[in-house]
Structure 1
Protein backbone atom coordinates (compact mmCIF):
# COMPACT_ATOMS: atom_id res chain seq x y z
CA UNK A 1 0.00 0.00 0.00
CA UNK A 2 1.39 3.41 -0.98
CA UNK A 3 0.91 6.30 1.41
CA UNK A 4 0.60 9.83 0.06
CA UNK A 5 2.82 12.55 1.53
CA UNK A 6 -0.23 14.11 3.21
CA UNK A 7 -1.24 10.76 4.69
CA UNK A 8 1.92 9.20 6.15
CA UNK A 9 2.14 5.63 7.36
CA UNK A 10 1.54 5.17 11.09
CA UNK A 11 4.45 6.15 13.33
CA UNK A 12 4.74 2.64 14.65
CA UNK A 13 7.62 1.10 16.50
CA UNK A 14 8.47 -0.99 13.43
CA UNK A 15 8.49 2.06 11.16
CA UNK A 16 10.86 3.88 13.50
CA UNK A 17 13.06 0.79 13.67
CA UNK A 18 13.29 0.52 9.89
CA UNK A 19 13.98 4.22 9.57
CA UNK A 20 16.84 3.96 12.05
CA UNK A 21 18.35 1.02 10.16
CA UNK A 22 18.16 2.85 6.85
CA UNK A 23 19.79 5.92 8.44
CA UNK A 24 22.60 3.66 9.75
CA UNK A 25 23.08 2.21 6.29
CA UNK A 26 23.19 5.44 4.31
CA UNK A 27 25.55 7.12 6.77
CA UNK A 28 27.98 4.22 6.41
CA UNK A 29 27.55 3.32 2.73
CA UNK A 30 25.96 6.32 1.07
CA UNK A 31 23.09 6.20 -1.40
CA UNK A 32 24.74 6.14 -4.83
CA UNK A 33 23.29 3.40 -7.06
CA UNK A 34 21.34 1.93 -4.16
CA UNK A 35 18.20 0.02 -5.10
CA UNK A 36 15.22 -0.52 -2.88
CA UNK A 37 15.75 -4.28 -2.95
CA UNK A 38 19.44 -4.06 -1.97
CA UNK A 39 18.59 -1.59 0.78
CA UNK A 40 15.84 -3.89 2.05
CA UNK A 41 18.21 -6.88 2.09
CA UNK A 42 20.90 -4.93 3.91
CA UNK A 43 18.57 -4.12 6.80
CA UNK A 44 16.81 -7.51 6.88
CA UNK A 45 13.53 -6.37 5.38
CA UNK A 46 11.84 -6.54 1.97
CA UNK A 47 10.51 -4.21 -0.71
CA UNK A 48 6.88 -4.71 0.22
CA UNK A 49 7.43 -3.73 3.84
CA UNK A 50 9.45 -0.61 2.97
CA UNK A 51 6.86 0.51 0.42
CA UNK A 52 4.09 -0.10 2.95
CA UNK A 53 5.70 2.15 5.53
CA UNK A 54 7.32 4.80 3.31
CA UNK A 55 5.55 4.83 -0.05
CA UNK A 56 8.65 5.04 -2.27
CA UNK A 57 12.43 4.77 -2.14
CA UNK A 58 12.71 8.56 -2.53
CA UNK A 59 10.39 9.22 0.41
CA UNK A 60 12.27 6.66 2.50
CA UNK A 61 15.64 8.28 1.76
CA UNK A 62 14.15 11.71 2.45
CA UNK A 63 12.98 10.65 5.92
CA UNK A 64 16.12 8.61 6.64
CA UNK A 65 18.27 11.66 5.82
CA UNK A 66 16.34 13.71 8.36
CA UNK A 67 16.69 10.90 10.89
CA UNK A 68 20.43 10.86 10.22
CA UNK A 69 20.59 14.63 10.75
CA UNK A 70 19.11 14.23 14.24
CA UNK A 71 22.22 12.26 15.20
CA UNK A 72 24.40 15.33 14.61
CA UNK A 73 23.12 17.90 17.10
CA UNK A 74 25.76 20.46 16.14
CA UNK A 75 24.11 20.74 12.74
CA UNK A 76 20.56 19.76 13.63
CA UNK A 77 20.20 22.57 16.19
CA UNK A 78 22.31 25.11 14.32
CA UNK A 79 19.52 27.52 13.43
CA UNK A 80 18.05 27.38 16.92
CA UNK A 81 21.38 28.51 18.31
CA UNK A 82 21.27 31.59 16.09
CA UNK A 83 18.16 32.69 18.00
CA UNK A 84 20.23 33.03 21.17
CA UNK A 85 21.41 36.41 22.40
CA UNK A 86 24.77 37.50 21.08
CA UNK A 87 26.62 39.41 18.40
CA UNK A 88 25.82 38.11 14.89
CA UNK A 89 29.51 37.73 14.02
CA UNK A 90 30.13 35.69 17.17
CA UNK A 91 27.07 33.49 16.62
CA UNK A 92 27.83 32.90 12.94
CA UNK A 93 31.48 32.08 13.58
CA UNK A 94 30.33 29.64 16.25
CA UNK A 95 27.90 28.14 13.73
CA UNK A 96 30.76 27.48 11.31
CA UNK A 97 32.77 25.85 14.10
CA UNK A 98 29.79 23.54 14.74
CA UNK A 99 29.51 22.67 11.05
CA UNK A 100 33.23 21.99 10.70
CA UNK A 101 33.41 19.73 13.76
CA UNK A 102 35.06 16.47 12.73
CA UNK A 103 32.21 14.49 14.27
CA UNK A 104 29.88 15.90 11.59
CA UNK A 105 31.84 14.60 8.58
CA UNK A 106 29.64 11.50 8.02
CA UNK A 107 26.57 13.71 7.68
CA UNK A 108 28.33 16.25 5.44
CA UNK A 109 29.39 13.44 3.11
CA UNK A 110 25.83 12.15 2.96
CA UNK A 111 24.45 15.64 2.37
CA UNK A 112 26.66 16.34 -0.64
CA UNK A 113 26.09 12.88 -2.08
CA UNK A 114 22.34 13.44 -1.87
CA UNK A 115 22.75 16.88 -3.36
CA UNK A 116 24.72 15.58 -6.36
CA UNK A 117 21.95 13.06 -7.08
CA UNK A 118 19.32 15.77 -6.67
CA UNK A 119 21.17 18.05 -9.09
CA UNK A 120 21.03 15.33 -11.75
CA UNK A 121 17.46 14.34 -11.01
CA UNK A 122 15.62 17.15 -9.17
CA UNK A 123 12.68 14.90 -8.35
CA UNK A 124 14.92 12.81 -6.09
CA UNK A 125 14.77 13.94 -2.47
CA UNK A 126 12.86 17.02 -3.58
CA UNK A 127 11.18 17.62 -0.23
CA UNK A 128 14.45 17.34 1.67
CA UNK A 129 16.25 19.88 -0.49
CA UNK A 130 13.35 22.32 -0.55
CA UNK A 131 13.65 22.42 3.25
CA UNK A 132 17.43 22.73 3.12
CA UNK A 133 17.27 25.55 0.57
CA UNK A 134 15.10 27.69 2.84
CA UNK A 135 15.77 26.81 6.48
CA UNK A 136 19.35 28.01 6.84
CA UNK A 137 18.99 31.28 4.87
CA UNK A 138 15.80 32.05 6.78
CA UNK A 139 17.52 31.38 10.11
CA UNK A 140 20.50 33.60 9.28
CA UNK A 141 18.25 36.36 7.91
CA UNK A 142 16.17 36.28 11.09
CA UNK A 143 19.33 36.90 13.11
CA UNK A 144 20.35 39.83 10.91
CA UNK A 145 16.91 41.45 11.00
CA UNK A 146 17.00 41.18 14.77
CA UNK A 147 20.30 43.03 14.63
CA UNK A 148 18.69 45.89 12.69
CA UNK A 149 19.21 44.99 9.03
CA UNK A 150 16.33 45.67 6.69
CA UNK A 151 14.73 42.43 5.40
CA UNK A 152 16.05 42.79 1.82
CA UNK A 153 19.64 43.32 2.99
CA UNK A 154 19.30 40.51 5.54
CA UNK A 155 18.09 38.10 2.86
CA UNK A 156 20.98 38.85 0.50
CA UNK A 157 23.54 38.58 3.32
CA UNK A 158 21.99 35.34 4.58
CA UNK A 159 22.13 33.68 1.16
CA UNK A 160 25.78 34.77 0.84
CA UNK A 161 26.70 33.43 4.29
CA UNK A 162 25.05 30.06 3.67
CA UNK A 163 26.81 29.96 0.28
CA UNK A 164 30.10 30.58 2.10
CA UNK A 165 29.37 27.69 4.45
CA UNK A 166 28.57 25.34 1.57
CA UNK A 167 31.78 26.20 -0.26
CA UNK A 168 33.88 25.76 2.86
CA UNK A 169 32.20 22.43 3.57
CA UNK A 170 33.28 21.17 0.15
CA UNK A 171 36.85 22.29 0.84
CA UNK A 172 36.69 20.61 4.24
CA UNK A 173 35.64 17.29 2.68
CA UNK A 174 38.37 17.71 0.06
CA UNK A 175 40.95 17.71 2.86
CA UNK A 176 41.75 21.40 3.31
CA UNK A 177 42.96 22.13 6.84
CA UNK A 178 40.04 23.02 9.13
CA UNK A 179 41.98 25.84 10.86
CA UNK A 180 42.76 27.42 7.50
CA UNK A 181 39.09 27.27 6.54
CA UNK A 182 38.05 28.76 9.86
CA UNK A 183 40.42 31.69 9.31
CA UNK A 184 38.96 32.16 5.82
CA UNK A 185 35.48 32.05 7.30
CA UNK A 186 36.23 34.79 9.80
CA UNK A 187 37.65 37.11 7.13
CA UNK A 188 34.84 36.44 4.65
CA UNK A 189 32.10 36.71 7.25
CA UNK A 190 33.33 40.11 8.39
CA UNK A 191 33.08 41.38 4.81
CA UNK A 192 29.64 39.88 4.27
CA UNK A 193 28.31 41.49 7.45
CA UNK A 194 29.53 44.96 6.47
CA UNK A 195 26.02 46.09 5.33
CA UNK A 196 24.47 45.03 8.65
CA UNK A 197 24.20 47.81 11.28
CA UNK A 198 26.65 47.46 14.15
CA UNK A 199 25.21 46.97 17.64
Structure 2
Protein backbone atom coordinates (compact mmCIF):
# COMPACT_ATOMS: atom_id res chain seq x y z
CA UNK A 1 0.00 0.00 0.00
CA UNK A 2 1.42 3.43 -0.94
CA UNK A 3 1.66 6.44 1.41
CA UNK A 4 -1.26 8.05 -0.43
CA UNK A 5 -3.38 4.93 0.04
CA UNK A 6 -2.46 4.82 3.75
CA UNK A 7 -3.46 8.46 4.19
CA UNK A 8 -6.77 7.74 2.46
CA UNK A 9 -7.43 4.51 4.40
CA UNK A 10 -10.17 5.75 6.78
CA UNK A 11 -12.20 7.31 3.97
CA UNK A 12 -11.76 4.22 1.78
CA UNK A 13 -12.89 1.98 4.63
CA UNK A 14 -15.93 4.16 5.30
CA UNK A 15 -16.80 4.28 1.60
CA UNK A 16 -16.64 0.48 1.38
CA UNK A 17 -18.70 0.15 4.54
CA UNK A 18 -21.40 2.44 3.15
CA UNK A 19 -21.53 0.40 -0.06
CA UNK A 20 -21.80 -2.88 1.86
CA UNK A 21 -24.57 -1.36 4.01
CA UNK A 22 -26.43 -0.58 0.74
CA UNK A 23 -26.00 -4.19 -0.35
CA UNK A 24 -27.19 -5.81 2.87
CA UNK A 25 -30.23 -3.55 3.12
CA UNK A 26 -31.19 -4.52 -0.42
CA UNK A 27 -30.19 -8.21 -0.45
CA UNK A 28 -30.04 -9.26 3.20
CA UNK A 29 -27.04 -11.21 4.44
CA UNK A 30 -27.99 -14.88 4.20
CA UNK A 31 -26.79 -15.59 0.67
CA UNK A 32 -23.88 -13.17 0.51
CA UNK A 33 -20.41 -14.57 0.03
CA UNK A 34 -17.42 -12.28 0.36
CA UNK A 35 -16.91 -12.57 -3.41
CA UNK A 36 -20.49 -11.58 -4.15
CA UNK A 37 -20.26 -8.59 -1.83
CA UNK A 38 -17.03 -7.52 -3.54
CA UNK A 39 -18.62 -7.84 -7.00
CA UNK A 40 -21.73 -5.91 -5.98
CA UNK A 41 -19.70 -2.98 -4.67
CA UNK A 42 -16.98 -3.03 -7.33
CA UNK A 43 -14.17 -4.15 -5.04
CA UNK A 44 -12.33 -7.40 -4.35
CA UNK A 45 -11.97 -9.92 -1.54
CA UNK A 46 -8.43 -8.83 -0.70
CA UNK A 47 -9.47 -5.22 -0.10
CA UNK A 48 -12.44 -6.20 2.06
CA UNK A 49 -10.32 -8.54 4.15
CA UNK A 50 -7.63 -5.87 4.50
CA UNK A 51 -10.09 -3.40 5.99
CA UNK A 52 -12.36 -5.73 7.96
CA UNK A 53 -10.40 -8.94 8.66
CA UNK A 54 -13.25 -11.36 7.95
CA UNK A 55 -16.61 -11.59 6.26
CA UNK A 56 -18.27 -11.80 9.68
CA UNK A 57 -16.70 -8.57 10.89
CA UNK A 58 -17.52 -6.86 7.59
CA UNK A 59 -21.19 -7.80 7.96
CA UNK A 60 -21.20 -6.82 11.64
CA UNK A 61 -19.75 -3.40 10.83
CA UNK A 62 -22.06 -2.94 7.84
CA UNK A 63 -25.08 -3.73 10.03
CA UNK A 64 -23.96 -0.99 12.44
CA UNK A 65 -23.49 1.38 9.49
CA UNK A 66 -26.98 0.51 8.25
CA UNK A 67 -28.34 1.30 11.72
CA UNK A 68 -27.16 4.89 11.32
CA UNK A 69 -29.55 5.33 8.38
CA UNK A 70 -32.66 4.87 10.49
CA UNK A 71 -32.99 8.14 12.39
CA UNK A 72 -36.01 7.16 14.46
CA UNK A 73 -34.27 4.10 15.86
CA UNK A 74 -30.84 5.72 15.93
CA UNK A 75 -32.10 8.79 17.82
CA UNK A 76 -34.33 6.81 20.16
CA UNK A 77 -31.75 6.70 22.96
CA UNK A 78 -31.26 10.46 22.93
CA UNK A 79 -35.00 10.96 23.19
CA UNK A 80 -35.13 8.36 25.96
CA UNK A 81 -32.50 10.35 27.88
CA UNK A 82 -34.52 13.52 27.31
CA UNK A 83 -32.25 15.18 24.76
CA UNK A 84 -34.92 16.92 22.76
CA UNK A 85 -38.63 17.67 22.65
CA UNK A 86 -40.53 16.20 25.55
CA UNK A 87 -37.59 16.05 28.00
CA UNK A 88 -40.02 16.52 30.87
CA UNK A 89 -41.84 13.31 30.04
CA UNK A 90 -42.09 10.86 32.91
CA UNK A 91 -40.28 7.48 32.63
CA UNK A 92 -43.37 5.61 31.42
CA UNK A 93 -43.99 8.15 28.65
CA UNK A 94 -40.31 8.02 27.61
CA UNK A 95 -40.36 4.24 27.43
CA UNK A 96 -43.60 4.29 25.42
CA UNK A 97 -42.10 6.85 23.03
CA UNK A 98 -39.00 4.65 22.68
CA UNK A 99 -41.12 1.70 21.54
CA UNK A 100 -42.98 3.98 19.09
CA UNK A 101 -39.59 5.01 17.67
CA UNK A 102 -38.32 1.43 17.41
CA UNK A 103 -41.51 0.03 15.88
CA UNK A 104 -42.08 2.83 13.38
CA UNK A 105 -42.78 1.40 9.89
CA UNK A 106 -39.74 3.23 8.48
CA UNK A 107 -37.53 0.98 10.62
CA UNK A 108 -38.84 -2.38 9.40
CA UNK A 109 -36.02 -2.90 6.85
CA UNK A 110 -33.42 -2.45 9.58
CA UNK A 111 -35.27 -4.70 12.03
CA UNK A 112 -35.44 -7.44 9.39
CA UNK A 113 -31.72 -7.06 8.72
CA UNK A 114 -30.94 -7.14 12.44
CA UNK A 115 -32.72 -10.44 13.02
CA UNK A 116 -31.34 -12.01 9.84
CA UNK A 117 -27.78 -11.06 10.82
CA UNK A 118 -28.36 -12.30 14.37
CA UNK A 119 -29.64 -15.67 13.16
CA UNK A 120 -26.66 -16.16 10.88
CA UNK A 121 -24.23 -15.11 13.62
CA UNK A 122 -25.62 -17.84 15.88
CA UNK A 123 -24.15 -20.46 13.52
CA UNK A 124 -20.61 -19.14 14.12
CA UNK A 125 -20.65 -17.88 17.71
CA UNK A 126 -16.87 -17.77 18.16
CA UNK A 127 -16.42 -15.69 14.99
CA UNK A 128 -19.17 -13.32 16.10
CA UNK A 129 -18.31 -12.82 19.76
CA UNK A 130 -17.92 -9.04 19.30
CA UNK A 131 -21.30 -8.82 17.60
CA UNK A 132 -23.02 -10.68 20.44
CA UNK A 133 -21.30 -8.48 23.03
CA UNK A 134 -22.55 -5.34 21.25
CA UNK A 135 -26.07 -6.76 21.05
CA UNK A 136 -26.10 -7.81 24.71
CA UNK A 137 -24.89 -4.39 25.84
CA UNK A 138 -26.98 -2.29 23.45
CA UNK A 139 -29.57 0.02 25.00
CA UNK A 140 -29.50 -1.45 28.53
CA UNK A 141 -27.19 1.22 30.05
CA UNK A 142 -29.29 4.06 28.62
CA UNK A 143 -32.56 2.62 29.93
CA UNK A 144 -30.91 1.91 33.29
CA UNK A 145 -29.59 5.48 33.50
CA UNK A 146 -32.98 6.95 32.66
CA UNK A 147 -34.71 4.81 35.31
CA UNK A 148 -32.06 5.59 37.93
CA UNK A 149 -32.44 9.30 37.13
CA UNK A 150 -36.16 8.92 37.80
CA UNK A 151 -35.44 7.57 41.28
CA UNK A 152 -35.45 3.81 40.70
CA UNK A 153 -32.83 2.17 43.01
CA UNK A 154 -29.67 1.03 41.17
CA UNK A 155 -30.24 -2.75 41.41
CA UNK A 156 -33.87 -2.42 40.35
CA UNK A 157 -32.97 0.00 37.55
CA UNK A 158 -30.54 -2.53 36.04
CA UNK A 159 -33.03 -5.39 36.31
CA UNK A 160 -35.85 -3.34 34.80
CA UNK A 161 -33.60 -2.06 32.01
CA UNK A 162 -32.75 -5.64 31.01
CA UNK A 163 -36.47 -6.46 31.14
CA UNK A 164 -37.38 -3.50 28.92
CA UNK A 165 -34.69 -4.16 26.31
CA UNK A 166 -35.49 -7.87 26.22
CA UNK A 167 -39.14 -6.99 25.71
CA UNK A 168 -38.21 -4.65 22.85
CA UNK A 169 -36.36 -7.51 21.15
CA UNK A 170 -39.32 -9.85 21.51
CA UNK A 171 -41.79 -7.22 20.32
CA UNK A 172 -39.63 -6.45 17.28
CA UNK A 173 -39.59 -10.13 16.38
CA UNK A 174 -43.37 -10.39 16.81
CA UNK A 175 -43.90 -7.24 14.73
CA UNK A 176 -41.86 -8.68 11.86
CA UNK A 177 -43.77 -11.96 12.17
CA UNK A 178 -47.04 -10.13 11.56
CA UNK A 179 -48.51 -9.71 15.05
CA UNK A 180 -50.88 -6.72 14.89
CA UNK A 181 -49.16 -3.54 16.04
CA UNK A 182 -52.04 -2.52 18.30
CA UNK A 183 -51.81 -5.81 20.22
CA UNK A 184 -48.05 -5.32 20.70
CA UNK A 185 -48.52 -1.71 21.76
CA UNK A 186 -51.13 -2.71 24.34
CA UNK A 187 -48.98 -5.52 25.75
CA UNK A 188 -45.98 -3.22 26.01
CA UNK A 189 -47.99 -0.43 27.67
CA UNK A 190 -49.26 -2.90 30.30
CA UNK A 191 -45.71 -4.08 31.02
CA UNK A 192 -44.38 -0.51 31.29
CA UNK A 193 -47.18 0.37 33.72
CA UNK A 194 -46.03 -2.53 35.93
CA UNK A 195 -42.36 -1.58 35.66
CA UNK A 196 -42.75 2.07 36.64
CA UNK A 197 -45.37 1.48 39.32
> Which residue of structure 2 aligns with residue 38 of structure 1?
36
CA RMSD of aligned residues (A): 1.7
> Which residue of structure 1 aligns with residue 186 of structure 2?
183
> Equivalents in 2 of 1:29, 1:138: separation in Å?
32
Tell me by how many angstroms 1:191 deviates: 1.3
What are structure 2's unaligned runs of at least 5 residues?
A: 2-7
How many pairs were matched up? 186
Tell me by how many angstroms 1:87 deviates: 0.5
> Which residue of structure 1 aligns with residue 4 of structure 2?
none
Runs of 4+ in 1 over 6 A off after TM superposition: none
> Equivalents in 2 of 1:179, 1:106: separation in Å?
20
> Which residue of structure 2 aligns with residue 23 of structure 1?
21
SS at match of 2:112: helix
Do the aligned residues in 2 keep the contact of 1:36 with 1:47 (CA within 8 Å)? Answer: yes
Instruction: Flag the 1:114–1:127 CA change in 2: closer, same or farther, 3 A.
Output: same
1:10 aligns with 2:14: no
> Which residue of structure 1 aligns with residue 77 of structure 2?
79
> Which residue of structure 2 aligns with residue 5 of structure 1?
none
For 1:148-190, what per-residue CA distance to the aligned partner results, in whole angstroms no more than 9, with x for missing partners?
1111100111111111111111110011121221121111111
Tell me by how many angstroms 1:15 deviates: 2.2
> Which residue of structure 2 aligns with residue 131 of structure 1?
134
Stretch deviating more after TM superposition (91-100 or 37-46) = 37-46
For 1:66-98, what per-residue CA distance to the aligned partner results, in whole angstroms no more than 9, with x for missing partners?
110000011112222111132110000000000
> Equivalents in 2 of 1:174, 1:65: separation in Å?
21
What are structure 1's unaligned runs of at least 5 residues?
A: 2-8, 195-199
SS at match of 1:82: helix
> Which residue of structure 2 aligns with residue 156 of structure 1?
159
Tell me by how many angstroms 1:122 deviates: 1.4
